[in-house]
Amino acid sequence: MKKEDKMSISATGRRSFLKKLGGVSAGIASVGSLVKAADGTPAIPAGSTYMGDFGAPKLDKVKVAIIGVGARGPTHLSHIAAAEGTEVVGICDLYEDAVNRGRQMALNADAERHKNVKTFHGDEHAYRKMLLETKPDAVWIATPWEWHAPMAIDCMKAGAHAFVEVPLATSIEDLWKIIETSESTKRHCMMLENVNYGREELMFLNMCRQGVFGELLHAEAAYIHELRGQMGEYERGRGTGSWRTLHWANENGNLYPTHGLGPVAQYMNLGRGDDSFRRLVSFSTPARNHELYAKEALGPDSKSIKLDFSKGGDLNTSIIKTTLGRTVMVQWDESSPRPYSRHNLIQGTRGTGAGFPNRIALDYTWKNATPELRKLLGLPEDKPDQRSNYHSWIEGGGFDAFYEHFDHPLFKRMESIAKKHGGHGGMDAIMNFRAIECLIKGEALDQNLYEGAFWSAVTPLSRKSVAEDGMPQDFPDFTRGRWKSTKPLAIIS
Ligand SMILES: NC(=O)c1ccc[n+]([C@@H]2O[C@H](COP(=O)([O-])OP(=O)(O)OC[C@H]3O[C@@H](n4cnc5c(N)ncnc54)[C@H](O)[C@@H]3O)[C@@H](O)[C@H]2O)c1
């Protein structure tokens, strides 16, 4: 099919889709025309619902569809197909082989339950046909970043809850559009930040809630993951690197902030009652690594060598200041030769917990420590005022001993699911099974709409700060003041 034909079909498809959904485009366009405060914050439209603690009506069965079954989507699909109470009704991708693989995966999980699953492919708007034909209750979205916002908005307008891979969107404007759509349709839009379900992250959350680290003052988060090998997919024109390489070449900022930031933001209750995101400054190093890799690994005839990577920055460091004046450092680096890290550091008046490698340092005496901490820190009863040694990290087996007392109840309940179904050490399975559980029980989700927006906003704000030589950028208040009355995430058991 000629490109022009494809485009005219998708334009026609779009028009009829919009008609059937009852004016989606009007809804999307309306965000820009909402009454705005002086700082650009849209007013809260009449009849909209605050989604901070929102629980949707319970579902007996969750009809699920998925868009995007490339590298990431199949993990979600395998969990959704295996979780009790689901029916996989639709699978969509650009490629036929991908949807066929996905269909087989659903049938392998439970051929009877998922027997009516339909597949859609070939057109970049085929997902709209899927929404109309399969009428899902929830849609998982695992497509390239630029598709997240339009797909999530279309899904919510079609009556489905949207579960969107990270980041939620790549511009502040799109984040507001998502918020406006979720609030007006009363459909969840959860960004799928799987790292918040990691065992260490859940344990630190539990310890923070119990006050073990004292008053929390500072956190460090990162996505340091050398991914230059994905440039090979740019050469081949398919796969993650086929689109991600262009972000590396064309943008300068923190392009992937949420894996590190999500967990520490929940430790500190940012955007939930205690404190929120205030402003950010950001700086990047010069960009060298992608060009070097293109020269050394891909060669003079490669497509990558023709890209101009000099507009980017290899290592980006952003600092967030919260409303209470606390700080979070967020780093991003997908191209430097160094080991993986998300930092995962949380620091308070009584100590610090950190990841990569896992370690803890605490300041307690026998007198002020709980019985568990006395044991874990080896505090002597006969010297009740002697402070623990916070100059050295507790690592290895010493760190592992903390699991016995501080493992998060959710992790303990879902440990067998994590082991059986996996995905980044089990965090993906806990996230997906838990999301289905919340939909069935009608409970608020663990990550609300606004958290996904705050965490994702680091990308556009850091890009702007870098472009303005580090000038501070204010976070929009996506909750419009309502974070103050939003409950901190409870310790779910
Ligand atoms: N949370 C995590 O740990 C994690 C890990 C990997 C990727 N991701 C995220 O998952 C998302 C997908 O990444 P990936 O590595 O799977 O990329 P990918 O390129 O391998 O897969 C994306 C899939 O989306 C399909 N697609 C693209 N446009 C589409 C459209 N208009 N309609 C239907 N399908 C379309 C592609 O054909 C492809 O199969 C990204 O947002 C990425 O950041 C998250």
**pLDDT by residue, tens only, the chain of 493 residues:** 333 333 232 333 333 433 433 333 333 334 444 567 777 788 998 899 999 999 999 999 999 999 999 999 999 999 999 999 999 999 999 999 999 999 999 999 999 999 999 999 999 999 999 999 999 999 999 999 999 999 999 999 999 999 999 999 999 999 999 999 999 999 999 999 999 999 999 999 999 999 999 999 999 999 999 999 999 999 999 999 999 999 999 999 999 999 999 999 999 999 999 899 999 999 999 999 999 999 999 999 999 999 999 999 999 999 999 999 999 999 999 999 999 999 999 999 999 999 999 999 999 999 999 999 999 999 999 999 999 999 999 999 999 999 999 999 999 999 999 999 999 999 999 999 999 999 999 999 999 999 999 999 999 999 999 999 999 999 999 999 999 999 999 999 9
- Ligand 1, residue 240: give the atom nearest the CA: 19
- Do 386 and 378 form a contact (C-beta atoms < 8 A)? no
Residues 6+ apart with CB under 8 A from 442: 55, 56, 57, 58, 59
Contact 317, 253 (CB under 8 A): no
Give the C-alpha separation, 217 to 83, whole Å: 39
Residues 6+ apart with CB under 8 A from 202: 196, 407, 408, 410, 411
Q: Whose CA is nearest to atom 33 of ligand 1?
A: 93
Q: What is the CATH number of the domain that holds 453?
A: 3.30.360.10
Q: Which atom of ligand 1 is nearest to the CA of 92?
A: 33
Residues 288 and 248 in one domain: yes
Q: Does some domain include residue 273? A: yes
> Which residue minimizes the CA distance to atom 17 of ligand 1?
240
Q: Ligand 1 centroid to 473 CA: how many Å?
A: 29
Give which of 222, 208, 161, 218 is closest to 186, Cα–Cα: 161
Q: How many helices (H) and strands (E) does the chain have?
A: 17, 14
Using the Cα atoms of residue 109, residue 111, residue 115 and residue 118 in order, give the sign of their dihedral. Answer: positive
Q: At 220, phi and psi to the nearest 5?
A: -130, 130
Is there a single domain that holds both residue 243 and residue 266? yes
Q: Identify whether residues 339 and 481 lie together within a single domain.
A: yes
492 domain-assigned: no
Residue 143 lies in a domain: yes
Q: Is 433 inside any structural domain? A: no
Report residue 374 CA to chain centroid gap. Answer: 36
Name the residue of 9, 10, 153, 165 whose CB sits within 8 Å of the most ligand 1 atoms, as the mutation to test its pocket.
165
Question: What residue ranges in 35-143 does DSSP mark as E strands?
Answer: 62-67, 86-93, 118-121, 138-141
Residue 466 CA, ligand 1 centroid: distance in Å: 27
| Same domain, residue pair 106 and 75 | yes
Residues 130 and 207 in one domain: no
Q: Decide: residue 226, CB within 10 A, 0-12 exposed, 13-18 middle, 19+ buried.
A: middle
Residue closest by Cα to atom 32 of ligand 1: 124
Say how many residues make up the chain: 493
The contacts of residue 245 (CB under 8 Å, 6+ apart) are 230, 231, 233, 234, 290, 304, 307
Distance 6 CA to ligand 1 centre (A): 22
Where is the domain boundary, 157, 192, 227?
192
Query: Any alpha helices (H) in 210-271, and if so which ranges?
Result: 231-236, 240-250, 258-267
Write the CATH number for 73. Answer: 3.40.50.720
Distance (Å, whole) CA 241 – CA 231:
5
Angstrom CA distances, 294 to 89, 158, 247, stand at: 42, 43, 15
Tell me the helix, strand and coil percentages in the chain, rounded to 5: 45, 15, 40
Residues 81, 114: contact at Cβ < 8 Å? yes
Tokens of 443: 């409970």
* Pocket residues: Cβ below 6 A from ligand 1: 67-73, 92-95, 98, 124, 127, 142-145, 147, 165-166, 194, 239-240, 424
Contacts of 260 (CB under 8 A, 6+ apart): 195, 220, 221, 222, 223, 330, 331, 342, 343, 344
Name which residue sits closest to atom 34 of ligand 1, judged by CA. Answer: 93
Domain count, the chain: 2
Q: Which atom of ligand 1 is nearest to the CA of 256?
A: 43
Residue whose CB lies within 8 A of the most ligand 1 atoms, among 9, 93, 151, 154, for a mutation test: 93
Q: Name the residue of 240, 424, 427 to mutate for ligand 1: max ligand atoms within 8 A of Cβ.
A: 240
Do 22 and 132 belong to one domain?
Answer: yes
Tokens in use for 35?
């009454």
**Mutation test of ligand 1: which of 143, 166, 256 has the most ligand atoms closer than 8 Å to its C-beta?**
143
Domain assignment of residue 236, yes or no: yes
How far apart CA 205 and CA 346 sit, in angstroms, is 10
Write out the two tokens for 157: 């307008």
The pLDDT assigned to 219 comes to 99
Token pair 């339909």 is found at 118
Query: Has residue 218 been placed in a domain?
Result: yes
Could you tell me the two tokens for 266? 């929940």
- For the chain, the maximum distance between any two Cα atoms, rounded to a whole number of angstroms, is 83
* Ligand 1 center to 379 CA (angstroms): 50
Ligand 1 site-directed mutation target among 14, 72, 121, most atoms within 8 Å of CB? 72
- Interhelix angle 24-33/3-21, rounded to 10 degrees, is 80
CA–centroid distance, 207 to ligand 1, in Å, is 34
Q: Range of 245's domain?
A: 196-358+395-423+448-485
**What tokens were used for 360?**
């803890």
Ligand 1, residue 95: give the atom nearest the CA.
37
CA 308 to centroid of ligand 1, rounded, Å: 24
CA 373 to CA 370: how far, in whole Å?
5
Question: Ligand 1 centroid vs 351 CA: distance in angstroms?
Answer: 39
Sheet holding 359-362, edge to edge: 359-362, 351-354, 345-348, 216-224, 327-333, 316-322, 277-284, 473-474
- Tell me, yes or no, whether 184 and 207 share the same domain: no
Residue nearest to atom 27 of ligand 1 (CA): 143
* 177/289 same-domain check: no
The encoded tokens of residue 63 equal 């009809």
Is the distance from CB of 353 to CB of 345 less than 8 angstroms? yes
Shared domain for 201 and 170, answered yes or no, is no
Q: Are 31 and 419 in contact (CB under 8 A)?
A: no
Q: Are residues 94 and 216 both part of a single domain?
A: no
303 within domain boundaries: yes
Instruction: Report CA(71)–ligand 1 centroid distance (Å).
Output: 6
CA of 485 to the centre of ligand 1 (A): 35
User: Which of 192, 227, 253 corresponds to the end of one domain?
Assistant: 192
Rounded to the nearest angstrom, the distance between the alpha carbon of 37 and the centre of ligand 1 is 36
Q: Whose CA is nearest to atom 1 of ligand 1?
A: 194
Q: Is the bond preceding residue 167 a cis peptide, omega within 30 degrees?
A: yes
Mention every residue, 6+ apart, whose C-beta is less than 8 A from residue 55: 438, 442, 443, 444
Same domain, 111 and 259: no
Query: Is 151 in the same domain as 300?
Result: no
Select from 402, 355, 94 the least CA-distant residue to 201.
355
Provide the angle, in degrees to the nearest 10, between the axes of the packed helices 3-21 and 145-157. Answer: 40
User: What's the pLDDT at 387?
Assistant: 98
Q: How far is the CA of 72 from the centre of ligand 1 (A)?
A: 6
Protein residue with least CA distance to atom 2, ligand 1: 194
Please check whether residue 132 is in contact with residue 17, taking contact to mean a CB–CB distance below 8 angstroms. yes
Residue nearest ligand 1's atom 3 by CA: 194
